[in-house]
């Protein structure tokens, strides 16, 4: 085990990184996104909840911004319920970004409802039948379909439709191939009321590797697209390609706006990004995890040696076991793969998960932890004293990535700002 800093503990056994962890922060008041969800949240709030460190989000934005030069704008990606952290709460905790980006029209409209007046970019597809709503609310559209441009031209709306053309540089998902950029842009120029505001792309392989040749290849294709626009005497005001990893590792991807998500939540995109940053010449941002996930003990009992625990009888007690039942399950986003494969923190000590994670319940072993009683707090994800369960650690247990761990936390759980 090799402790790099307070964020990361890397197990380099056998030459490969096996595990890493980050620290999380604490908190205290409490915000609700809408009247409708109020009663639902109250119903669920007292047993399982999320705590958000009020200072961490903007601190993280400042750290990421410091990777870029003056004049580079910052777009905070708050899609998918702000990566599970809660859209209303995160928008409140993020005064400094110049832009916000979300995936869907609904998410964009929600930001407007919350009073966000800054530019909002929609990254995903907007149904042709709903483009008018997007333009009405001045939501910027990512475009890569001729049908979208034609439909925007046919709106004859008094407000301009501001679009960001996405270039397919090798991620193999949304975007216009570079050989089709010229004719696509001509279509935009012909479309009345449609303004080309931005040019963007997204990197495919920047987080998963220490070898960044493929990203460099994508960047060279993006430069070709810029040259094509240049030859048409067009300079889109906003040019953006950099996700968190690119923001940290590659100044040449910054252009005039960063478009970062995971880093603002204080999480690193991957251990490879962290190692690349540590090995590079630049400064390494101090990212502070924003979220702590907690619950309370719902029952404590002593089981005889040999007792089975949970569905499928996958765990059998090898000693007299003091077991605690937690009112948390895969319906809350606590991954089923954590069964027999994780621990939580009780009184700052590790308590292993026993048996399978159920839909609404999870059992833990508190035999070796003194003074545990009913309704004591339990940290599922976060820090308690000297122990931390990071999103990365949990992702390792569940066989996924930190992005998925936080994004899948049930949106109806209460998010408290401390
Ligand atoms: C198009 C686009 N841009 C930016 C981001 C932000 O990436 P990250 O969270 O790695 O910073 C995402 C994330 O999925 C994305 O899909």
DSSP code string of 322-373: EEEEES--GGGT--GGGTTS-EEEETTEEEEEES---SS-EEEE-TTSTT--
Beta strands 99-102 and 73-77: pairing type? parallel
pLDDT beyond 80 at 64: yes
State the pLDDT at residue 207.
78
Mean of the per-residue pLDDT values of the chain: 90
Q: What is the pLDDT of residues 226-265, one digit of tens each?
A: 999 999 999 999 999 999 999 999 999 999 999 999 999 9
Q: What is the percent of the chain with per-residue pLDDT over 70, rounded to a whole number?
A: 89
- Residue of 166, 308, 311, 330 marked active site: 311
CATH no. of 55-279: 3.20.20.10
260 lines ligand 1 (CB under 6 A): yes
What pTM, to 2 d.p., does this model score? 0.89
79 a catalytic residue: yes
- How far apart, in whole angstroms, are the C-alpha atoms of residue 310 and residue 361? 9
Cα–Cα separations (whole angstroms), residue 362 to 295, 297, 342: 11, 10, 11
Q: What is the pLDDT of residues 13-63, one digit of tens each?
A: 333 333 333 333 332 223 333 444 454 544 455 899 999 999 999 999 999
Residues of the chain with CATH 3.20.20.10: 55-279
State the pLDDT at residue 45.
52
Beta strands 387-389 and 377-384: pairing type? antiparallel
166 a catalytic residue: no
Class of domain 291-417 (CATH, top level)? mainly beta
Atom of ligand 1 nearest to the CA of 243: 11
Atom of ligand 1 nearest to the CA of 244: 11
Give 209's pLDDT tier (boundaries 50, 70, 90).
confident
Residue 243 alpha carbon to ligand 1 centre in Å? 5
Reported in sequence order, the residue ranges of 254-320 that DSSP labels E, i.e. its strands, are: 257-260, 291-296, 299-303, 308-309, 315-316
pLDDT beyond 80 at 115: yes
202 lines ligand 1 (CB under 6 A): yes
166 lines ligand 1 (CB under 6 A): no
pLDDT beyond 50 at 4: no
- Residue of 79, 110, 166, 294 marked active site: 79
Atom of ligand 1 nearest to the CA of 123: 1
- How far apart, in whole angstroms, are the C-alpha atoms of residue 390 and residue 131? 40
Residues of the chain with CATH 2.40.37.10: 291-417
pLDDT beyond 60 at 93: yes
8 Å CB contact between 90 and 78:
yes
Closest CA to 365 of 349, 382, 381, 387: 349
pLDDT beyond 90 at 7: no
Give 416's pLDDT tier (boundaries 50, 70, 90).
very high
243 lines ligand 1 (CB under 6 A): yes
Residue 347 alpha carbon to ligand 1 centre in Å? 36
What pairs with residue 349 in β-bridges?
A: 346
Reported in sequence order, the residue ranges of 9-103 that DSSP labels E, i.e. its strands, are: 9-10, 29-30, 48-52, 73-77, 99-102
Give 282's pLDDT tier (boundaries 50, 70, 90).
confident
H and E: helices and strands count for the chain: 13, 24
Residue 397 alpha carbon to ligand 1 centre in Å? 24
State the pLDDT at residue 31.
34
């Amino acid at each position: 085990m090799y402790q790099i800093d307070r964020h990361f503990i890397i197990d380099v056994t056998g030459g490969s990184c096996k595990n890493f962890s980050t620290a999380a922060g604490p908190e205290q008041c409490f915000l609700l996104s809408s009247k409708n969800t109020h009663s639902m949240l109250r119903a669920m709030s007292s047993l399982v909840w999320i705590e958000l460190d009020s200072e961490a989000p903007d601190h993280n934005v400042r750290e990421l911004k410091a990777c870029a030069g003056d004049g580079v704008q910052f777009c905070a990606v708050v899609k998918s319920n702000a990566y599970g952290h809660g859209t209303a709460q995160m928008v409140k905790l993020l005064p400094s970004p110049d832009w916000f980006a979300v995936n869907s029209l609904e998410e964009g409209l929600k930001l407007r409802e919350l009073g966000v007046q800054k530019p909002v970019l929609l990254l995903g597809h907007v149904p042709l039948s709903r483009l008018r709503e997007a333009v009405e609310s001045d939501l910027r559209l990512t475009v890569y379909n001729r049908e979208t441009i034609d439909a925007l031209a046919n709106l004859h709306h008094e407000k301009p439709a501001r679009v960001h053309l996405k270039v397919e540089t090798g991620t193999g998902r949304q975007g216009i191939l570079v050989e089709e950029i010229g004719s696509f842009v001509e279509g935009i120029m012909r479309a009345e009321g449609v303004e080309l505001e931005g040019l963007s792309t997204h990197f495919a392989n920047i987080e998963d590797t220490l070898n960044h040749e493929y990203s460099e290849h994508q960047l060279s294709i993006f430069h070709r697209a810029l040259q094509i626009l240049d030859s048409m005497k067009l300079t889109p005001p906003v040019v953006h390609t950099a996700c968190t990893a690119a923001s940290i590792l590659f100044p040449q991807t910054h252009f005039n706006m960063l478009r970062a998500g995971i880093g603002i939540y204080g999480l690193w995109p991957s251990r490879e990004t962290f190692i690349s940053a540590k090995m590079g010449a630049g400064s390494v941002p101090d990212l502070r995890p924003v979220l702590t996930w907690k619950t309370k003990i719902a029952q404590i009992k002593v089981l005889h040696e040999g007792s089975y625990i949970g569905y499928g009888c996958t765990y059998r007690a090898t000693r007299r076991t003091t077991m605690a039942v937690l009112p948390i399950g895969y319906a809350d986003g606590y991954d089923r793969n954590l069964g027999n494969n994780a621990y939580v923190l009780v009184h700052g000590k590790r308590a292993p998960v026993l048996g399978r994670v159920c839909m609404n319940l999870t059992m833990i072993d508190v035999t070796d932890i003194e003074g545990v009683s009913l309704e004591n707090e339990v940290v599922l994800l976060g820090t308690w004293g000297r122990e931390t369960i990071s999103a990365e650690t949990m992702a390792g247990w569940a066989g996924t990535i930190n992005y998925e761990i936080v994004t899948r936390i049930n949106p109806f759980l209460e998010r408290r700002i401390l």
